[in-house]
Amino acid sequence: MRRKILFVTTDQQRYDALGCNGNEIARTPVVDRLAAEGVNYRRAYNQNTVCMPARSTMLTGQYVRTHGVVSNGVPLPVDAPSVAAYLADAAGYRTALLGKAHFEPGFDAMRHYQENQLAETGSTGPMRGFEHVELAMHTPTVMGRGIQHYGTWLLSQHPEHVAGFAALLQAEGGGETAAPETTINPIPRELYHTDWVADRTIAYLDSLAADDDWFVWMSFPDPHHPWDPPASERKRVPWQDLDLPLGHPGSADAIRSVLRQKPAHWLDWYDGTWRNVEGSPGRFCPATLTDDQIREINALAHVMNELIDEAVGRVLDAVDRRGWTADTDIFFTTDHGELQGDYGLIFKGPFHTDSLMRLPFVWRPAPSTSIEPAEVTEPVGHLDLAPTFCSIAGVEQPDWMQGSPLPTVAGSGRERVLCEWDSQFPGYGMHMRSIYRDGWLCTAYEHSTRGQPNGLETFLEMLPERVGQALGLGTAGPQSPVEYEGTEGELYRVDEDPHQFRNLWDDLGYRHVRADLVADLYDHLPPPREPRLLVERPA
């Protein structure tokens, strides 16, 4: 028998969402205990700051530019390598994915992609090397039609609770402060997708034989917006009791002072002259946020994180009940972070700071191993997960994986981790490359390719006008008023400037640091995939 692997992911969760990483509001004792018993990676970074590219890297163990899903809306090829398939074929693992997948576009009214077809055909796989899948997204329905397995189930079994969820990507105000993408959701906790994902994971585990080896990916859609946890749980964290987050500069004038140091789209988004259609609702303007709205959003995110932690605890109890604890490795991470009030902003997008790039990243090795608890400060990334799974399973790392097994003690000698951004909308054409090394975070902005086709224009031309307007995309797709020349960038000393308020890119005293980091960045990026994959949907 081999060691079993429980891979737990959340969606859009900040590094500081957990008690073990300094959170003093949300109670996350289950993951905190995993961190205390295992390895807590203090400088883990994603390879892209939105869902589909990040998740494709976790599945393939490849850089974004290698697997080709460079942005949301680019479907991962059906023949792309999969660590789940590899573990099944090379080591006989049983494999399952319960929750959010998002290797293919969710904007898929015609159910063109497998992820969105399965539930309607009553199928639970196989899919991408997972013999069993039951999938969920952030909302159960769109235009009255169930989305994936969770939405189909809720619409069929409990239709009275479908309407309680907030609309996704509409920026509609709700909750108690009219904060965007919030609502008071009357759904009973046991029917909410967090507990549903845990329930389906437990059911799958209970279907396995005692001597099966398994790789199970449990993927929670929360705490990604909409911020609409069950209303019964809102009292856990009264928003009125919260301070503004530490990354909030404190006032509108202070926000503008910080953002003015960064490339133009930062301040332009805050003021509403640039639209962040690639990471937030297109019609949303951050300058309209009130302090109380930020407080309510943060409170709801804390509630969602507590519910996730408790759901993980239930699954670990099921693992223990089956007698598997001693031989089970547990991983906990997310795809990307959330601005959540930092800089006066919310949501995500082309903003390469720790708010979106730095990840909660915990590995509790199987107790049957001799691996001791540790904190590792050397940089690691999503790229390293698949090779680690191979190491646990005792199989050779295949050539197509580009990372390395995660270190379990300090002093590994790891120096850098890389992150990229490429626009999904041809009217934006933004390209950013980032490196974290030696306590520095450096982002080089490449020349904008605004107006150059990337595939999405074909879809946008076919989009009914009313749909485009409803999504804030216009009739010809959104157009960015900001165009970069390729000389812009960001440079931060993160230990001294933890919120990345002071951009040193143009500071003459740091030119040599900047030049060294940019050269190192491009020296270690692999060549891009050719031909490039096309963007097929908005998300």
Checking if the pLDDT of 464 tops 80, the result is no
Using DSSP's 3-state secondary structure scheme, residue 381 falls into strand
Confidence of residue 1 (pLDDT cuts 50, 70, 90): confident
Write the single-letter amino acid at 406.
L
User: In this predicted structure, what is the pLDDT of residue 81?
Assistant: 98
* Both tokens assigned to 265: 């789209």
Checking if the pLDDT of 236 tops 70, the result is yes
In Å, what is the CA distance from 310 to each residue of 86, 228, 266? 31, 17, 36
The residues, any chain, with a CB within 8 Å of residue 225's CB and separated by 6 or more, are 12, 138, 166, 168, 181, 338, 346, 347
In Å, what is the CA distance from 167 to each residue of 140, 218, 385? 10, 24, 33
**Phi/psi at 4 (5° precision):** -90, 160
User: In this predicted structure, what is the pLDDT of residue 302?
Assistant: 98
Confidence of residue 460 (pLDDT cuts 50, 70, 90): confident
Using DSSP's 3-state secondary structure scheme, residue 98 falls into strand
Question: How does the average pLDDT of the chain come out, rounded?
Answer: 96
Task: Specify whether the CB–CB gap between 432 and 445 falls below 8 A.
Answer: yes
Better-predicted residue by pLDDT, 251 or 458: 251
pTM above 0.95, yes or no: yes
Confidence of residue 475 (pLDDT cuts 50, 70, 90): low
Checking if the pLDDT of 473 tops 70, the result is no
Give the integer Cα–Cα distance in Å for 112 and 230. 32
Count of other CB atoms within 10 angstroms of residue 48:
27
User: In this predicted structure, what is the pLDDT of residue 462?
Assistant: 80
Closest by CA position to 244, among listed 293, 175, 177, 306: 293
Residues 352-385: tens digit of each pLDDT = 999 999 999 999 999 999 899 999 999 999 999 9
User: In this predicted structure, what is the pLDDT of residue 168?
Assistant: 86
Checking if the pLDDT of 474 tops 80, the result is no
Confidence of residue 470 (pLDDT cuts 50, 70, 90): low
In Å, what is the CA distance from 511 to each residue of 89, 514, 518? 50, 5, 11
Checking if the pLDDT of 19 tops 80, the result is yes
Residues 138-164: tens digit of each pLDDT = 999 998 899 999 999 999 999 999 999
For residue 444, the Cα-to-chain-centroid distance in whole angstroms is: 22
User: In this predicted structure, what is the pLDDT of residue 276?
Assistant: 97
**Phi/psi at 174 (5° precision):** -165, -155
For residue 488, the Cα-to-chain-centroid distance in whole angstroms is: 26
Checking if the pLDDT of 469 tops 90, the result is no
Q: Tell me which residue has tokens 């709700």.
A: 174
Residues 316-359: tens digit of each pLDDT = 999 999 999 999 999 999 999 999 999 999 999 999 999 999 99
User: In this predicted structure, what is the pLDDT of residue 13?
Assistant: 98
Task: Specify whether the CB–CB gap between 300 and 182 falls below 8 A.
Answer: yes
User: In this predicted structure, what is the pLDDT of residue 24?
Assistant: 97
Task: Specify whether the CB–CB gap between 47 and 383 falls below 8 A.
Answer: yes
Give bridge partners of residue 41 from the DSSP assignment: 376
> Per-residue pLDDT averaged across 411-434, rounded?
97
Checking if the pLDDT of 300 tops 90, the result is yes
User: In this predicted structure, what is the pLDDT of residue 467?
Assistant: 62
In Å, what is the CA distance from 204 to each residue of 197, 199, 201, 216? 11, 9, 5, 9
Checking if the pLDDT of 55 tops 90, the result is yes
Query: What's the angle, vertex CA 237, arms to CA 234 and CA 242, rounded to 5?
Result: 130
**Phi/psi at 136 (5° precision):** -145, 150
Checking if the pLDDT of 476 tops 80, the result is no
Give the integer Cα–Cα distance in Å for 239 and 227. 13
Strand pairing of 416-422 and 44-45? Answer: unpaired
Confidence of residue 492 (pLDDT cuts 50, 70, 90): very high
Task: Specify whether the CB–CB gap between 185 and 229 falls below 8 A.
Answer: yes
Give the integer Cα–Cα distance in Å for 147 and 162. 11
For residue 434, the Cα-to-chain-centroid distance in whole angstroms is: 17
Distance spanning both ends of the chain, measured CA to CA: 41
Residues 152-207: tens digit of each pLDDT = 999 999 999 999 999 988 899 999 999 999 999 999 999 999 999 999 999 999 99
| Domains of the chain and CATH, by start | 4-414 (3.40.720.10)
User: In this predicted structure, what is the pLDDT of residue 231?
Assistant: 98
User: In this predicted structure, what is the pLDDT of residue 143?
Assistant: 86
What is the percent of the chain where pLDDT is above 70?
A: 98
Write the single-letter amino acid at 105.
P
User: In this predicted structure, what is the pLDDT of residue 466?
Assistant: 64
Confidence of residue 109 (pLDDT cuts 50, 70, 90): confident
Task: Specify whether the CB–CB gap between 100 and 136 falls below 8 A.
Answer: yes
> Per-residue pLDDT averaged across 226-248, rounded?
98
